[in-house]
Structures are given as structure tokens and as C-alpha cells.
A = this chain, B = another copy of it.
Amino acid sequence: MMARASTSVNRRNDIVAAAIEVFAEIGYYRATTAQVAERAAISQPYVYRFFTKESLLVESLSVSWKRIVQAFQVVIDSSAPEELESGLIRAYEGIMQSYRSEILLQMQAQTIPDAPIREAMQQGINEIRDLVGNAFVSAGFEDADKKISDFLARGMLCNAAMAMDMPDLMPKK
């Protein structure tokens, strides 16, 4: 009776998109696979045709890190040295507005020690650091090491300010 709604590939994407939102809003451990299923408009058992709860988190994190890498790559490929850093900052601010849930999910994952999640986080951060670090070096910045460290630190404070609804934590202008 029910019409077949989608392909398997689309279903995977639907489920991951739903999981990112539900996990971010409710918290990974508090959120249930039934809630993810409801948001994806499928049944709870069908989620398990594609993911376990943990593999769903790992996949969600992978999506979130790819989003940042890709946005930064665009900036790096199209920026003069004097606009590189401000361009990266603007790109990150854009992601925080449009994909807030993905950042909230990364923040949650920071304190989850289970190996697959820990590895996804380490890999994501390392990729960002290498990407931005190399771009700073290529741009001819002398203190690239300090610059990348400051960049990451500012990003972390930015995340915290967003998560806890404390915009005053970020310096104006």
C-alpha cells in the first residue's frame, strides 16, 4: 500500500541529517533512535538497516568535519594572503549559523571516549589544523605555529559562546 519513498542512498542521508539535529538538540545519549526515525519520517527498526546508534554518530561527525574542511578549502583556494585569516573566520561564522547542530554535535563528541568517536574527532581536528596550518605557511606568515594555535583557540571559544548562549564571550568587532 505504502509507496516506496526513496532510494537507499537518500535514506542514509535522511537519517544522518535527522540524527545530527536530534542528537544536537536532545543530546546523543538522551536522544533515542525512535526520535531520529521520527524526524527522518521512517520507522525505528529501519534505522538499523543502515546504522547502529554509535555508527550514526560517527557518520554525523564525518559529515560535520567535511563541511568545515570544504568551506575552508574554498577560502584558501580563493584568498590573497592578507585576507586569508579573515576569510577563514567568516567561513566558520557562516557554518556556525547554518549548521549549528553539527558544531553542537562535535562539542558533545569531545568528551566521549569510545574509540570510534574519539578517532573521528582526532582525524577531523588534525585535518583542519594541517589544512589551515599549511595555508598560513604558504601565505608567508612567519609565526604560523602560533597563528594556527590562536585560530583553533578562538574557534573553541566561539563554539562555547554559541553553545551556552553567551555572545558576550566573543570580543566585539
Q: Which residues of A contact B (CB under 8 A)?
A: 27-30, 104, 107-108, 110-112, 118, 121-122, 125-126, 129, 145-146, 149-150, 152-154, 156-157, 159-160, 163-166, 169-171
Q: Which of B111, B146, B149, B163 contacts A163 (CB 8 A)?
A: B111
| Chain A contact residues, majority secondary structure | helix
Do residues A164 and B121 form an inter-chain contact, with CB atoms below 8 A? yes
Do residues B122 and A160 form an inter-chain contact, with CB atoms below 8 A? no
Do residues A125 and B169 form an inter-chain contact, with CB atoms below 8 A? yes
Closest beta carbon of chain B to A118's beta carbon, Å: 7
Write 7 A-B pairs (CB below 8 A) sorted by A numbering: A27-B29, A27-B112, A107-B107, A121-B164, A149-B171, A153-B153, A156-B157
